[in-house]
Amino acid sequence: MYLNISMIKCKHCSGKNFLKKGFRKTDNRGKIQKYFCKDCKRFFTNDDGFYRMRNKPEIITMSIDMYVSNLSSRKMRNQLKRHLSHKVSHVSVLDWVRRYTLKVHKFIERQGYNLGNSFYADETMINREGKLDRFWCCLDWDTRLITGFHYSLSANPIEAQEFLKKAINKGKPKYIQTDAGVFYPRAFRKLFYSNKIGGLVIEHKIQNYQTTRVHNYRIETVFMKIKDRVIDFRGLKALWSAPILMTAIVIQHNFIENHSTTDEVPSERAGVNLELGENRWLDLIKVASLNL
């Protein structure tokens, strides 16, 4: 993606009346364009997300991409050392993942999505230092976009409600299908049926494996992928860190990787086209940084 000049604005006054004026030399990122604002008469540079970082954006985004898709932070550190003679600590890798995940998440939550009518919701247990946390996830069948997710310490109707609110944040389906989890019916009643005055009604479909012998294959392939990745997620130890790393997995699914059946990136299928190039994390961070 080529950065669009219309995204640039003055850091001091948000004005768009500026000139290109010289460069600032940096240690790790070469020369950076400086601008002069004609409104407030001050100089500024653009923070493309990597301002004052001690490593090259390419190293950082490669680390994030590989960490989230399959490599532990320690293995990533070793790869960098072996192939690029580049020394970073595994803690830096984790810090990068968390820092940029938060930034990108904030930006993509503000985009408009075109989603279908059938959502599939499921929850999975996450073993965090012997405690069984829950990761709730809702998928739109048409686009395979993860519409919303929720991280909690237990499964009950209150947490199910919190999850469902997030699940319909990007689109309003005709129905949401869940498994026979006991906490869902009450959560659906509370959210979609007790408010009789013009309230949003979303049908609750229950896929009961015990009676139908049919698994929820649609969403299970996505969940398998997530479960596979979580197994060696070492940064999942701390409660503050775990939800952020799960967010990174969701971004990877929605914005970075082509879905195996549709051969398209779910966010693009949902009409969110940010014109990201080959290095999608890099462009996503840039576009998020310039637009936050």
CA-based nearest residue to 124, from 231, 210, 253, 261: 231
* Nearest to Zn ion of 12, 24 (CB atom): 12
Cβ closer to Zn ion: 10 or 226? 10
Does residue number 21 form part of the binding site for Zn ion (CB under 5 A)?
Answer: no
Give every CB contact of residue 234 below 8 A, 6+ residues apart in sequence: 72, 73, 74
Residue with Cβ nearer Zn ion (40 or 201): 40
Q: Are strands 131-140 and 118-128 parallel, antiparallel or unpaired?
A: antiparallel
Burial string for 265-278 (b: 16+ CB within 10 Å, else e) reads: bbbbbbebebebee
Window 27-46: contact mask with Zn ion (x via CB under 5 A):
----------x-xx------
* CA separation for the pair 195, 214 (Å, rounded): 33
Shortest distance, CB of residue 74 to Zn ion, whole angstroms? 45
Query: Within positions 271 to 290, which residues make up the interface with Zn ion, using CB under 5 A?
Result: none
Tokens of 253: 């699914």
Min dist CB 107 to Zn ion, Å, is 23
H/E element, 37: strand 30-37
**Which residues is 24 bridged to in the sheet?**
32
Of residues 47 and 162, the one with the C-beta less far from Zn ion: 47
How many residues bind Zn ion (CB under 5 A)? The answer is 7
Q: By CB under 5 A, name the one of 1, 3, 7, 13 that touches Zn ion.
A: 13
Q: Which of 3, 7, 15, 79: binder of Zn ion (CB under 5 A)?
A: 15
* Closest distance to Zn ion from the beta carbon of 34 (Å): 13
Write out the residues near Zn ion by the rule CB under 5 A: 10, 12-13, 15, 37, 39-40
